[in-house]
Amino acid sequence: MSEPSSLYIKVKIEQSHLNSFFAARPATATASKNQEAWWQSRKMYSPMDLPQGLFIQAATNRAVFDELLADRRAVAMEEYDEASQEWTFLCLMFSENYREILPMLNCCASLADYLQGDENGIALVYDYFWGSTDVMVELRLRPHEAYYELTNHMTELVNADAEIIKTRIDSLLAEGQDPYNTPD
């Protein structure tokens, strides 16, 4: 059985743009050539075509993230830093299932439509909790553009955030959000 990967999102975005994203319905994306190339670069035991038409059943993007935040087993947190205008979302125990991960990637990619000017960001799905620096997905976000990096390892930019991620995860675990010691 595979283990859940972690989800990390960090986006420089004005609060009003983020609020507009949160108010919107989750996107159902069609595969781009870049996403298809990323999918083909994945190492799978049973390779398959990129699933199409997967979507998140939620009324708004805000509801998507609230569901993860409410699930104590997910060990999730978010914050918005008004000074730097950066939104950060972290979910330690996100998913091991591509059928759950792909709709969330579509949701993250749709965030690019709300970015303007020099706003940008990244979404990562990777094995943080299991001590690996291997990356399942590194999605770069720029205004109206979401780009899948064709990599299996963290880039220098991502490594720069590694200590920040570790500090936030340690804080979540210290608050008692242990995914293996959570009452039902």
**Parallel, antiparallel, or unpaired for β 76-81 and 86-95?**
antiparallel
Residue 147 pairs in a beta bridge with 140
Query: What's the whole-number average pLDDT of the chain?
Result: 82
Residue 137 · residue 158 · CB < 8 Å:
no
Please choose, from the candidates 116, 17, 115, 25, the residue with its C-alpha nearest in 3D space to the C-alpha of residue 64. 25
Please choose, from the candidates 41, 164, 54, the residue with its C-alpha nearest in 3D space to the C-alpha of residue 109. 54
Q: Helical H runs in 6-59?
A: 15-23, 33-41
Q: What is the pLDDT of residue 2?
A: 66
As a whole number of angstroms, the distance between CA 85 and CA 129 comes to 27
pTM for the complete prediction?
0.84
- For the record, the structure tokens of 64 come out as 């998507």
Summarised one tens digit per residue, pLDDT across range 83-142 is: 999 999 988 888 888 888 888 999 999 999 999 999 999 998 887 666 666 788 889 999
